[in-house]
Amino acid sequence: MYRYLLCVTFFLSPAVLAQAPYPQGQIYRIVGPVVDFPTQAVSLSVAVIGTPFRLHYRSGGGDRMWSWSVHHAYDPAGEMLSLGDGRWKSASPLFRQWATNATASSEYGSQDYSAKQAGGKPDTFTHSDAKSAWAPKSQDGTTEWLELTYERAVKPAAINVRETFNPGFVTKVESYNAERAQWFVLWQGKDPTTKESVVFSPPLSKATFATKRIRLTIDTNVPGWNEIDAVELVAQSPPWLSAGEMAIVAPSGSKVYVFNNGGRHLRTLNAFTRALLWRFAYNSAGALVAIEDGFGNVTRIERNANGVATVVIAPYGQRTILSTGADGYLAGITNPAGETMSFT
């Protein structure tokens, strides 16, 4: 990384870099490069001409990536939000909860493999016999139940059961109606979960009451030990959130990021008005290719055959060219006025 840093050559004087005007009357500034000492990463932040956002470039730790100041990612398994500059922060989706407590008809151990191992966030990430998941006392031949308690009572839209060992064993899902003191069947049938699909999300009958207790019935006759890592309760969503989407409040509290279930950033909304601030488009490989603002202005990102960003085209046509060397590192940036900052 030091080789890269020390060989940076500015073709423009620092004064020009700091003040060069461009067609939209904004200031073209390149900040950095700077070295992030803990990771030895080189990072560079560029205000992209004709757009209101910054582009971050990072190389280090085997990682060479561009990111946009308005663009985020979400890791649903670890519940971590990418802040867009290489840092990650713990963040839980709105309208979704992991169980705060769990009890069962039986458990293989009082700590390891106990019912409480099915509470909390996922912590079992491979198909395996894991002490961080609940296992009933018997390997086969019994009918068992697992009851989960959640912090907030909601009308369930989905129940996501992480079956992390010998899956396909859930036969019934129920929710507890506290007012009537009775269980309501949300789903009953054949569980199609495989060790590849892991998560069982049965189609639910529409509950008209809110609940904070969910009960699963399990048939241990599916061969081998049958284990559950965690169970997520998803509430019925507001109109601005579609099925298969999740919402995360920005650390500042002023914005809401909407992601698909895979953690791809779909749009950003004003947290108070729900007005659209940004909408993101992707190519078939899943790489970001366009950013649209709330007024319909579109910034496009062109990519080469390897998916590397090569040009950023602002809504009024200004082109910022990004060139990459044969070694895969950033080689230069050319602004719409034809001025180049090179890294050799």
DSSP bridge pairs for 270: 255
Q: Which residue number, 230 or 269, has a Cβ lying nearer to Ca ion?
A: 230
**Residues 230-269 within binding reach of Ca ion (CB under 5 A):** 230
- Which of 123, 129, 219, 339 is close enough to bind Ca ion by CB under 5 A? 123
As given in the structure block, the two tokens for residue 152 are 């907030």
- Under 8 Å between Cβ of 94 and 248: yes
Cβ 207 vs Cβ 153: under 8 Å: no
- 75 forms part of the interface with Ca ion (CB under 5 A): no
With respect to Ca ion, which residue has the nearer C-beta, 48 or 170? 170
- Write the interaction track for Ca ion spanning residues 77-116; mark x where CB under 5 A is met and - where it is not: ----------------------------------------
What's the min distance (Å) between Cβ of 213 and Ca ion?
19
Minimum distance, C-beta of residue 226 to Ca ion, in the bound complex (Å): 5
Of residues 102 and 269, the one with the C-beta less far from Ca ion: 102
Residues with Cβ within 8 Å of 36's Cβ and at least 6 positions away in sequence, in order, are 42, 43, 60, 86
CB 192 within 8 A of CB 274: no
Q: How far is the CB of 41 from Ca ion (least distance, A)?
A: 33
- Which of the ranges 52-60, 96-104, 118-126, 274-282 carries the binding residues for Ca ion, by CB under 5 A? 118-126
- For residue 317, give the nearest of 136, 137, 49 by alpha carbon: 49
Per-residue interface string for the shown chain with Ca ion, residues 212-231, x marking contact by CB under 5 A: --------x-----x--xx-
CB nearer Ca ion, residue 132 or residue 268: 132
Least spacing, CB of residue 305 vs Ca ion, in Å: 42
Minimal distance in Å, beta carbon 303 to Ca ion? Answer: 39
Tell me, rounded to whole angstroms, the distance of Cα 294 from its chain centroid: 22
DSSP-assigned letters across all residues of 215-262: EEEEETTSSS--EEEEEEEEEPPPTTS-TTEEEEE-TTSSEEEEEETT
Which residue's CB is nearer to Ca ion, number 146 or number 173?
Answer: 146
Answer yes or no whether residue 117 interacts with Ca ion by CB under 5 A.
yes
Which residues lie below 8 Å from residue 149, measured CB to CB, with a gap of 6+? Answer: 99, 100, 101, 102, 212, 213
For position 163 contacting Ca ion by CB under 5 A, the verdict is no
Alpha-carbon distance of 322 to 335, in angstroms, equals 9
Applying CB under 5 A, the residues found at the interface with Ca ion are 117, 123, 132, 140, 220, 226, 229-230
